Structure 1
């Protein structure tokens, strides 16, 4: 298996695991990057970047990262809080008056980030065309009645999380979440990461000049999560919160449509390289080339447990901080203090402050995994093994 890139000597187990992802787990095109204490120690890519399997993956090839977008988007309200522009304990309607309707007076900003707002579904799902417009989703969650008393329980807001967050960000800053990320996060760090792909990047990818953004293959295999049967049964039930949460846009847009990639859906359609994901998380926990995003108090808040236990949407037990999944059986990261976010289909980004590790993995070989893709997990285990061997 031809693998391109570099790996520090002590992290050779990651290269071995990356090769096995192709030879044993069926990956088709992917990249993995790992930083340690702000220094890149793994930068690998392999396979093909196009659906025909003829064009090799290149340095800088980027992919849709699905819900790994949530971890990037969560940094926006946390940085606004860090700057004194947003109070995490304020009611959402203090910034967004229209949101107060239909029993949502008690929804706090931190409830939105911790999936405790009680708004994982829309009674009237959006069409793809509505979803790609920034306003209908925001208006829909403002008009929605909670399905449980806000703040009393948690359930994964698979799609509505993005509109809830974007509604807040727009009212506090006057900019959409995608614009804010571009200006305040991606540009200072030099990230190949977008929430709303610029037309020039779309055109470059399709012309094959830089190998930037290529199509993903349709998800294959059965829906998978831990434990498998319970979530599959919930997803198969049209009336379940699981099915309704993932069906807040019906039908889901074609992820290879340029119009989808140009839109900004903070819950699900970010586009990034593996290096950008890892570099982003490295900057949350420490300095990267002179840039650090989170102060110590913000980092502590991001990964302090806000929600834990049976998830009303994902059915299994989940743990959330403020906008980030925390290490657990449903979302295994590196260690108990790790925080980050997987993307349905395979992508994963996270940081582990105690070890100084920041990790990013992207793939175009989508699977029907929700949180614990076996390819990403194999790479995480390899990072852990490399750290253990170095002790």
Structure 2
């Protein structure tokens, strides 16, 4: 390991191979700055930070560094909906239109909350031309999607609502609970649970934000020849990953993609959720499989619960019961009830693989080998 590479934190000796894999992510797999946390039972056994917050490598990654999570944010939103279900404010079998009547337009009246959160509603993005400003337009964007005809028959399959699920979810959440997801996370996850998680980022916290770093050619639309659902989700408009470094992005309420946090807070959130933050009944409903098969946007097999990505092809280790979410470029957070663990990795240098980032694979394989 280079002598000038800052790595701090702690790691139980039992998991020394995981620390080595974390270090090798920097020396062999291109990491610039990153954090890793593993909780087994109720013990934090790994809490590491390393590298740099900026491309110039002048600002070390510290324990309180936060970074844009991209779609790892979706798991935070899924937990918020599970809290509402646990409080009796909604059920996953409720029709979205029961809470949001305008959503029933164009044949969407049969879409349930579970269907929406598992990417089955046929609204993977805007059908008509859209700009980044449209994606960040809050309720106006939600109204536009609610009025839109579905791009496929709702319930006939999943099609990853990469950005649009955040637009739809925060509007639905507000209509059920009264607060936006952004405010709910601020008051109940950050405030109530004391976890360093936010939707967007307050300008006052910008001093501890890590800069997103990405190859110049990386774009959300770079997955080959696109179908209509893929165009809506990934190319209307295409997203430049460096958008995450802009104030407009950080000001938005977009639970699909602009969460800011770190590995320690995310692992704690999943550990608490899996360990009893909500009732067993609510947790089972939130993590129950809702649809599986080849996703119309991702083009790969996916198993979706109500907002969570369920373990498929061993992306979250060997146990089928694992659930969580991963983000564009490489971040992830998940819980594995079988192994009684929660794990998260956050970073600022984005990778280009849709699935199978070598940094993820190395860390997860080392954890389960040590277990």
TM-score range, shorter chain: over 0.9
Establish whether residue 109 from structure 1 lines up as the match of residue 97 from structure 2.
Answer: no
Q: Distance in 2 between matches of 1:71 and 1:132?
A: 20
Summarize deviations over 1:220-245 as a string: whole Å, max 9, x none. 68789xxxxxx96xx33244422331
Which residue matches 2:310? 326
Match of 2:266 in 1: 277
Q: 1:135 to 1:223 in 2, by over 3 A?
A: closer
Asked whether the 8 Å contact 1:342–1:371 carries over to 2, the reply is no
Q: Distance in 2 between the 1:265 and 1:257 partners?
A: 14
Structure 2 residue matching 1:218: 3-state secondary structure: coil
1:255 matches 2:255: no
Aligned partner of residue 70 in structure 2, secondary structure = coil
Q: 1:305 to 1:220 in 2, by over 3 A?
A: farther
Q: Unpaired segments of 5 or more residues in structure 2?
A: none
Check conservation: 2:94, 2:112, Cα contact below 8 A: yes
| Residue of structure 1 in register with 2:33 after alignment | 29
**What are the residue-to-residue correspondences of 1:1-391 with 2, within 5 Å?**
1=1, 2=5, 3-202=7-206, 205=207, 212-219=208-215, 235-250=223-238, 252=240, 254-286=243-275, 292-329=276-313, 331-387=315-371
Give the whole-Å Cα distance in 2 for the aligned partners of 1:121 and 1:331.
26
1:294 and 1:30 mapped to 2: Cα distance?
30
Structure 2 length normalisation: TM-score? 0.93
Shift in alpha-carbon separation, 1:334–1:280, aligned structure 2, 3 A: farther
Q: Is the 8 A contact 1:119 1:160 kept in 2?
A: yes
Other structure's SS at 2:8 match: strand
Q: How many pairs are equivalent? A: 366
> Aligned to 1:146, what secondary structure does the other structure show?
coil
Q: Is the 8 A contact 2:332 2:346 kept in 1?
A: yes
SS at match of 1:32: strand
Greater mean deviation of Cα atoms: 299-308 or 10-19 = 299-308
Report Cα offsets for 1:70-94 as digits up to 9, x if no partner: 0001112221111110121121110
5+ unaligned residues in a row in structure 1: which ranges?
206-211, 225-230, 287-291
Given that residues 344 and 371 in structure 1 are in contact (C-alpha distance below 8 angstroms), is that contact kept between their aligned partners in structure 2? no
CA displacement, residues 21-67 of structure 1 (integer Å, 9 cap, x when unaligned) = 11111111111011111221101111111121112111111110100
Cα RMSD for the two superposed structures: 2.0
Task: State the TM-score, normalizing by the size of structure 1.
Answer: 0.89
Higher deviation after alignment, 157-166 or 339-348: 157-166
